[in-house]
Amino acid sequence: MPDSLTDLITDLAVANRILGHEGVLDAFGHVSVRHPDDPGRYLLSRSRAPALVEPDDILEYTLDSEPVKPPITRPYSERVIHGCIYQARSDVIAVCHHHAAAVLPFCIAGKPIKPVFHLGAVIGDETPMWDQHDEFGDTNLLVVKPEEGRSLARALGQHSVVLMLRHGATVVGHSLKDLVLRSIFICQNAEYQLRAHMLGSASPLYPGEIRQADVLHQQRAGVDRAWEYYCVRLRNSGGWPPKATAKAARAKPKAAPATRSPAKKKRKR
């Protein structure tokens, strides 16, 4: 966990940019993280392409997905995805919604993604499928109503990812770094699974292999090693975000100057 809210805001901007650079996110999609000091709030960028997100773009929301402060910029319309999942899952610290090219064939075909290599174990043993049309009929496929967000959260259940039919996927993590790596590895797994099917078949991991490989993924040393790798890739690409301004860093307001006690009136002699 970062040492301060300022550090976490910077990491959130970096997470957006890493997932943009690695092809998980494009002009659309979004990443959030639960507030470190208040589990009843979360942090999410203003409506902007993830690869361009800066610390100054980060806004704070309640779990009802209402901005804590009136925003002067446009927020994401699908922010209820994040708020509803945080409400339903106290163990979730970060959320990513994306439309990655590697995952979309499975969402279009209605086929599950199964872990087929060791890092793919972060998927778990099942990827539930959510069809918005089942409950809400014809929509523009955006998840913008609280009841739609709650329906998606129910479909996610206790899993790590939920596939959204004809739309994309939503991934959750136990930390922001865990979420970033999980989102990348799920896309890699989807690519390998599809290629293996082109060769004839894809052999998924055994349940025991999934559990043991996921334990390895959760270890701090491995998470930090992979996070460093993707951070360096982002830096080398020239895509590292600028530093936050004092305002975006949520600097504590300066204490008001101490007021002097009113001077006593001199007595007339």
Instruction: Tell me how far apart the 2 most distant CA atoms of the chain are, in Å.
Output: 109
191 is catalytic: no
Q: What is the pTM of this model?
A: 0.90
How many angstroms separate the CA atoms of 184 and 162, rounded? 15
Instruction: Kindly state whether residue 257 falls inside one of the protein's structural domains.
Output: no
Q: What angle do CA 42, 43, 47 make, to 5 degrees?
A: 125
User: Is residue 128 in some structural domain?
Assistant: yes
How confident is the model over 146-172, as a mean pLDDT?
98
Instruction: Kindly report the CATH number assigned to the domain that includes residue 186.
Output: 3.40.225.10
DSSP labels, 139-166: --S---SHHHHHHHHHHHTTSSEEEETT
- In angstroms, the CA 94 to CA 179 distance is 6
Q: Is 263 contained in some domain?
A: no
Cα(first)–Cα(last) distance of the chain, in Å? 67
Q: Is residue 110 part of a domain?
A: yes
Q: Which of 22, 60, 78, 209 is catalytic?
A: 78
Q: Quick check: is 152 in a domain?
A: yes
Whole-number pLDDT of residue 263: 44
Report which of 111, 137, 100 is spatially closest to residue 22, judged by C-alpha positions.
100
- Give the span between the Cα atoms of 29 and 125, in whole angstroms: 25
Question: Are the C-beta atoms of residues 59 and 25 closer than 8 Å to each other?
Answer: no
Tally of structural domains, the chain: 1
- Structural domain contains residue 154: yes
Q: Residue 137 is part of which domain span?
A: 5-236
**Residues 169-216 pLDDT 10s:** 999 999 999 999 999 999 999 999 999 999 999 999 999 999 999 999
What confidence tens digit (pLDDT) does each residue in 102-124 have? 999 999 999 999 999 999 999 99
Does any domain span residue 51?
yes
Domain annotation covers residue 191: yes
